[in-house]
Amino acid sequence: MRIIDLARKDLAQIIHDWKSALFLVVMPILFTLFFGFVFRMGESGGDPRLPVGLVDNDGTGSLATDLQDLLSASELVRPVLLDAATDVDAQVRDGDLAAVIVVPAGFTAHAFAGEAPPLTIVADRSTTAGQTAHSGIETAALRLLGAVETARISADAYASQADLSSETARQAYMAEAVDLAIDEWRQPALRVVTEKATRAIAGTDPVPSGFRQSSPGMMVQFAVFGLITSAMVLVLERKSGALQRLLTAPVGRATVIGGHVLAMFAVIFFQQALLVVVGQLVFDVNYLQAPVATLVMMAALSLWAASLGLLIGALSRKEEQVITWSLIAMFLFAALGGAWFPLEVAGSTFAAIGHVMPTAWAMDGLQNIVVRGQGLSTSLLPAGVLFAYAAAFFGIGVWRFRFSGN
């Protein structure tokens, strides 16, 4: 019970300092909001494909529409309908469009008659965008002409079984056949998808973004930053002689150290709980889809941060040193551990170096929950690594702990 009494005494000192609320509550929320909007702005919300213009001079012909459908299904280009009066050369030259394809008058009739209709493609093939757009247009055009040829062969074969003697009936049949072929092109039976393998669990989302990156990141960062106030209590009590006087009371060294660590743990755990609630209700970060896993990660992160606070308090002789060591720890662990940006975007080498930091494992555990929608099983390894770091920091902190200011 004396450990709890000592922890309550530390908590009372921290609560009476109004600056604690600023650093422990207000600042993490503001930083979460700021970085969340920054990450959202960096997301590619629009269509990343190259815009290509489509000029339809074919009038009532149906193949220009079919070509548009094929271009829409392309992974390289997206069609933009243009008026016949548009200066297509200027559009390409000014970079507004990567290329323009012009469907000539009578295109559908010539194609259905078995002729090779000319399509005009305007593109600057000296540029990468122009080459890519030209390739995407050629692919769509070849698929269209292939579908037309298939429809012609089918119409010739079907003509002996049905009345396709009139040109109107034949063209209607071919138009329907082309549409069916286009549908098959747009919905292939087999698709090959290539994905980059990372340290993330197979089959998960690629790179976390928005508040799903900033909310866990700021939880991890301010778990370290919040140690300034709690570690400061240790230094002030050592300087005032309060720690040394405690040894004259019927309490052991382990009780004194345990009380301070428990206070630090309670402060960080409360901060984590508050940020989880704010993230869930305000920023739509779904921590509670796996509440047990979230609780385990909160406990592991809080215990690691409390052990780090003990170590900082043990090493610091002055208040300024507490601030210096805490800021160094925050910047080092947050930057290299993926709290500021996803390690996936920095490459495999940086990600491997980052995972030397306990904060990288904390981010992994939290993002397994909020980004990848996974549960307790995927949080056990990150939590275990954090507990191991906590034990190491705690051991060094106890070893270097001093009750006097000398």
The distance from CA 125 to its chain's CA centroid, rounded to whole angstroms, is 35
For residues 77-97, give the mean pLDDT.
86
What is the length of the chain? 406
pLDDT digits (tens, 9 = 90+) for 346-373: 667 777 888 889 999 999 999 888 887 8
Q: At what angle do helices 211-225 and 358-370 cross, to 10 degrees?
A: 140
Bigger pLDDT: 63 vs 395: 395
- Token couple for 382: 């990150």
**Confidence band of 180 (pLDDT split at 50, 70, 90):** low
pLDDT at 15: 67
pLDDT at 22: 67
Nearest CA to 365 out of 295, 317, 303 is that of: 295
pLDDT digits (tens, 9 = 90+) for 259-293: 778 888 888 898 889 989 988 998 888 899 899 99
pTM given for the model: 0.58
pLDDT digits (tens, 9 = 90+) for 104-163: 888 877 777 777 678 889 988 877 778 888 888 888 888 877 777 776 666 665 655 555
Residue linked to tokens 């170096």: 353
Nearest CA to 116 out of 124, 128, 107, 127 is that of: 107
Q: Is 1 buried (19+), middle (13-18) or exposed (0-12) by CB count in 10 A?
A: exposed
- Residue by residue, what is the 3-state secondary structure of 187-208? CCCCCCCCCCCCCCCCCCCCCC
pLDDT at 196: 39
pLDDT at 383 over 80: yes
Residue linked to tokens 């996803």: 342
Q: What mean pLDDT is reported for the chain?
A: 77
Question: What's the CA gap between 395 and 389, in Å, rounded?
Answer: 10
Torsion angle (degrees, nearest 10) of CA 18, 23, 28, 34: 100
Q: At what angle do helices 211-225 and 27-42 cross, to 10 degrees?
A: 150
pLDDT digits (tens, 9 = 90+) for 24-62: 778 788 888 887 776 665 454 456 688 899 998 887 777
Within 13 A of 314's CA, how many CA atoms are on the CB side?
20
**Confidence band of 176 (pLDDT split at 50, 70, 90):** low
Bigger pLDDT: 128 vs 337: 337
Bigger pLDDT: 402 vs 340: 340
Bigger pLDDT: 75 vs 403: 75
pLDDT at 44: 46
pLDDT at 379 over 50: yes
Give me the percent of the chain exceeding a pLDDT of 90: 9
pLDDT at 187: 58
Give me the percent of the chain exceeding a pLDDT of 70: 70
pLDDT at 175: 67
pLDDT at 295: 94
Cα 193–199–200 angle (5° rounding)? 65
Q: Which domains does the chain have, with CATH numbers?
A: 2-41+205-400 (no CATH), 51-186 (3.40.1710)
pLDDT at 183 over 80: no
pLDDT at 72 over 90: no
Torsion angle (degrees, nearest 10) of CA 68, 73, 75, 77: 10
pLDDT at 203: 39
pLDDT at 199: 39
pLDDT at 205 over 50: no
